[in-house]
Amino acid sequence: MRTTTLGSKGPEVGVIGLGCMGMTHAYDMNAPRDDDTSIAVIRQALDLGMTLIDTADVYGPYTNEELVGRALAGGHRERAVLATKVGLQLTDPTGGTPTSPGAVPNGRPEHVRRSIDESLRRLGTDYVDLYQLHRVDPQVPIEETWGAMAETVRQGKARHIGLSEVTVEQIERAQAVHPVTSVQSELSLWTRDPLAEVLPYCEEHGIAFLPFSPLGRGFLTGRFSSFDDLPEDDFRRRLPRFQQDALRANLAIVGRVRQVAERAGITPAQVALAWVLAQGRYVVPIPGTKTPRYLADNAGAADVELSPADLADLDAMPAPEGGRY
């Protein structure tokens, strides 16, 4: 796989990474968890050059890091650029999702200091390559949280630190304390909000941009044609865009993606990922999957270069019906 770097000063990574959340969290929770397959997928990702492996402490809850740690044991750790997150605290012992009332921001410095050690223990490593603030805590000045994040770098527990779901103002405030290596936010053909301000700022300042849900939480692949196609215990059933009326309207977006895919001789997922990759030199999408076949399909998008006409068609697609959350 071709490579880029995490911004102008970060490590080299494959241009497509792997998001591990869905292996233990949020999606299709009634289905049996197949940890052996998930571990195989993580290792296959490394073999394919998808070296950025993304997790978070609250995923699972608190089991996703353990799974990733097992996958990277036995000599695989040095092949990965390992990223995890801090800054959300579960209030619901069943876990919920990071965007549900079951989790609240916690940016207190003492929480950061405690959490990095807990994450390293679960991951079975001495350091993470990228430690990210999952959400800004409105009750704590970002300078205080970011100062504690910077401590993890000085202590050698993290090589770089990044932000998630932030504004330009918040990036600037953090930058005044310690360099921001990356910003992670949702970006896809049906979620383009970062294109207005955040992504251009990152591009100008040499900050990596890590799109999560670049496949529209699976919708852009064409897997879902109705609300009933969603697994019963799946948090997408609570999202506005997946409600039946909105979903029916949003199928027009999938139809446009399929047209481009047929023209280019690739899959809809590869179209969606190639469009995201085209948005900047330091854009590294982190699609999630638990399936080896889908992983290989996603990796293949790294070799796709959409034509100007295809990009224009995709850029002109209508906005989706329904909000993100």
Q: Region 159-172: what's the mean pLDDT?
A: 98
Classify residue 272 by its DSSP letter: H
Residue 100: per-residue pLDDT: 53
89, pLDDT greater than 70: yes
- The amino acid present at 167, given as its one-letter code, is T
Q: Residue 59 catalytic?
A: yes
What tens digit of pLDDT does each residue of 298-324 get? Answer: 999 999 999 999 999 999 999 998 888
Cβ-based neighbours of 181, under 8 Å, separated by 6 or more:
6, 7, 9, 10, 130, 160, 161, 162, 207, 208
Q: Region 131-153: what's the mean pLDDT?
A: 98
Comparing C-alpha atoms, which of 179, 117, 113, 114 is closest to residue 151? Answer: 113
Residue 250 near residue 217 (C-beta atoms within 8 A): no
What tens digit of pLDDT does each residue of 19-67 get? Answer: 999 998 766 555 667 899 999 999 999 999 999 999 999 998 889 999 9
CA 151/CA 159 separation, integer angstroms? 11
pTM of the entire structure? 0.94
CA 15/CA 1 separation, integer angstroms? 7
Comparing C-alpha atoms, which of 232, 267, 208, 148 is closest to residue 5? Answer: 208
Residue 228: per-residue pLDDT: 84
In our burial notation (b when 16+ CB lie closer than 10 A, e otherwise), range 167-184 reads eeebbebbeebbbbbbbb
14, pLDDT greater than 90: yes
Residue 32: per-residue pLDDT: 65
Higher pLDDT, 94 or 24: 24
Nearest-5° Cα angle at 27, 294 to 323:
100
Residue 98: per-residue pLDDT: 46
What tens digit of pLDDT does each residue of 242-255 get? Answer: 898 998 989 999 99
Comparing C-alpha atoms, which of 54, 188, 51 is closest to residue 132? Answer: 54
Q: Region 186-195: what's the mean pLDDT?
A: 96
222, pLDDT greater than 90: no
What's the whole-number average pLDDT of the chain? 93
CA 265/CA 183 separation, integer angstroms? 32
Q: Region 9-24: what's the mean pLDDT?
A: 96
**Cis preceding-peptide flag for 93 (omega within 30 of 0):** no
**CATH architecture of the domain covering 3-217+276-302:** Alpha-Beta Barrel (3.20)
Q: Region 198-211: what's the mean pLDDT?
A: 98
154, pLDDT greater than 50: yes
Query: Of 59, 131, 282, 294, which is the active-site residue?
Result: 59
Write out the two tokens for 145. Answer: 């949280």
